[in-house]
A and B are shown apart, each in its own frame.
Chain A
Amino acid sequence: MTTQDLRDDEPEALHELAIELERKARARSIPDVPVGVMSCKDVDVYYGKFRAVTGVNLEFGRNEITALIGPSGCGKSTLLRSLNRMNDLVDGARVDGDVLFMGEDIYRKGVDPIEVRRRIGMVFQKPNPFPKSIYDNIAYGPRVTGMKVDSMDDLVEEALTKAVLWDEVKDKLKQSAFGLSGGQQQRLCIARTIAVKPDVILMDEPCSALDPIATMRIEDLMQELRQDYTIVIVTHNMQQAARVADRTAFFTALADKGTGDRTGVLVEFGRTTQIFEDPRDQRTEDYISGRFG
Chain B
Amino acid sequence: MSSVATKAGPSERVGRPPAIPQFAGRPRYGEKVIRFVLRIAAILTVVITVGILIALIVPSLGFFSQVSVGEFLFGTRWAPRFAEASFGVIPLITATLWTTTIALLVAIPLGLGAAILLAEYASSKARKTLKPILEILAGVPTVVYGLFALQFVQATVLRDWLQLDTGAFSVLAAGLVMGVMIVPTIASISEDAMSAVPSALRQGSAALGANRMQTTMRVVFPAALSGIVAAIVLGISRAIGETMIVAIAAGSQARIVTGPLEQGQTMTGFIANAALGDSRVGSIEYDTLFAVGLLLFGITLIINAISIRFVRRFREAY
Q: Contact residue range for chain A?
A: 20 to 34
Note all chain B residues with C-beta closer than 8 A to A118.
208-209
Note all chain B residues with C-beta closer than 8 A to A189.
204
Q: Which of A74-94 contact B (CB under 8 A)?
A: 84, 86, 89, 91
The reply to whether A130 and B316 contact each other, CB–CB distance below 8 Å, is: yes
Note all chain A residues with C-beta closer than 8 A to B273.
none
| Chain B nearest CB, measured from A14 CB (Å) | 36
Asked if B317 CB lies within 8 Å of chain A CBs, one says: yes
The reply to whether A124 and B204 contact each other, CB–CB distance below 8 Å, is: yes
Note all chain B residues with C-beta closer than 8 A to A140.
205, 208, 210, 218
The reply to whether A145 and B223 contact each other, CB–CB distance below 8 Å, is: no
Q: Mark B191-228, 1 if CB is under 8 A from A, else 0.
A: 00000001011111111111100100011001100000
| Chain A nearest CB, measured from B147 CB (Å) | 43
Q: Mark A117-148, 1 if CB is under 8 A from B, else 0.
A: 11001101010111110000000110011000
Q: Mark B234-271, 1 if CB is under 8 A from A, else 0.
A: 00000000000000000000000000000000000000
| Chain B nearest CB, measured from A233 CB (Å) | 15
Q: Which of B139-156 contact A (CB under 8 A)?
A: none
The reply to whether B210 and A114 contact each other, CB–CB distance below 8 Å, is: yes
In-complex Cβ contact of B207 among A121, A131, A178 (8 A): A121
Asked if A192 CB lies within 8 Å of chain B CBs, one says: yes
The reply to whether A131 and B318 contact each other, CB–CB distance below 8 Å, is: yes
Bound-state CA distance A100–B129 (Å) is: 39
Note all chain A residues with C-beta closer than 8 A to B207.
84, 86, 117, 121-122, 124, 193
Interface size on B, residues (CB 8 A): 23
The reply to whether A145 and B209 contact each other, CB–CB distance below 8 Å, is: yes
Asked if A65 CB lies within 8 Å of chain B CBs, one says: no
Q: Mark A149-160, 1 if CB is under 8 A from B, else 0.
A: 000000000000
Note all chain A residues with C-beta closer than 8 A to B202.
89
Note all chain A residues with C-beta closer than 8 A to B211.
114, 144
Asked if A261 CB lies within 8 Å of chain B CBs, one says: no
Asked if A281 CB lies within 8 Å of chain B CBs, one says: no
Asked if A224 CB lies within 8 Å of chain B CBs, one says: no
Asked if B123 CB lies within 8 Å of chain A CBs, one says: yes
Bound-state CA distance A124–B123 (Å) is: 24
| Chain B nearest CB, measured from A42 CB (Å) | 25
The reply to whether B222 and A141 contact each other, CB–CB distance below 8 Å, is: no
| Chain B nearest CB, measured from A177 CB (Å) | 10
Asked if A196 CB lies within 8 Å of chain B CBs, one says: yes
Note all chain A residues with C-beta closer than 8 A to B204.
124, 128-130, 189, 192
The reply to whether A128 and B200 contact each other, CB–CB distance below 8 Å, is: yes
| Chain B nearest CB, measured from A195 CB (Å) | 8
With contact pairs A89-B203, A144-B214 given, residues A130 and B219 touching in the complex (Cβ less than 8 Å) = yes
Asked if A115 CB lies within 8 Å of chain B CBs, one says: yes
Bound-state CA distance A128–B204 (Å) is: 7
Bound-state CA distance A278–B124 (Å) is: 48
Note all chain B residues with C-beta closer than 8 A to A121.
207-208
| Chain A nearest CB, measured from B222 CB (Å) | 7
In-complex Cβ contact of A124 among B200, B210, B318 (8 A): B200
The reply to whether B223 and A131 contact each other, CB–CB distance below 8 Å, is: yes
Bound-state CA distance A124–B207 (Å) is: 10
| Chain A nearest CB, measured from B245 CB (Å) | 38
In-complex Cβ contact of A86 among B123, B206, B222 (8 A): B206
Bound-state CA distance A140–B215 (Å) is: 10
The reply to whether B209 and A91 contact each other, CB–CB distance below 8 Å, is: no
| Chain A nearest CB, measured from B56 CB (Å) | 40
| Chain A nearest CB, measured from B197 CB (Å) | 9
Bound-state CA distance A126–B198 (Å) is: 12
| Chain A nearest CB, measured from B143 CB (Å) | 42
| Chain A nearest CB, measured from B227 CB (Å) | 13
Note all chain A residues with C-beta closer than 8 A to B223.
130-131
Bound-state CA distance A128–B200 (Å) is: 6
Nearest residue (CB) in A for B318 is A131
With contact pairs A91-B124, A130-B219 given, residues A141 and B200 touching in the complex (Cβ less than 8 Å) = no
In-complex Cβ contact of A192 among B200, B206, B208, B318 (8 A): B208
Note all chain B residues with C-beta closer than 8 A to A115.
209
The reply to whether B208 and A89 contact each other, CB–CB distance below 8 Å, is: no
Nearest residue (CB) in A for B125 is A91
The reply to whether A141 and B206 contact each other, CB–CB distance below 8 Å, is: no
Enumerate 14 A-B pairs (CB-CB under 8 Å) in ascending A order.
A84-B207, A89-B203, A91-B123, A117-B206, A117-B207, A121-B208, A128-B200, A131-B223, A131-B317, A141-B209, A141-B210, A145-B210, A192-B204, A193-B207
Beyond A124-B207, A128-B198, A178-B317, 14 extra complex contacts between A and B, CB < 8 Å: A91-B123, A91-B124, A114-B209, A115-B209, A117-B208, A117-B209, A118-B209, A122-B207, A124-B200, A126-B200, A129-B204, A130-B316, A141-B209, A144-B214
Closest 10 A/B residue pairs (Cβ): A118-B209, A131-B316, A141-B208, A122-B207, A128-B200, A144-B210, A128-B204, A131-B318, A145-B209, A144-B214
Interface residues of A, Cβ cutoff 8 Å to B: 84, 86, 89, 91, 114-115, 117-118, 121-122, 124, 126, 128-132, 140-141, 144-145, 178, 189, 192-193, 196
Interface residues of B, Cβ cutoff 8 Å to A: 123-124, 198, 200-211, 214, 218-219, 222-223, 316-318
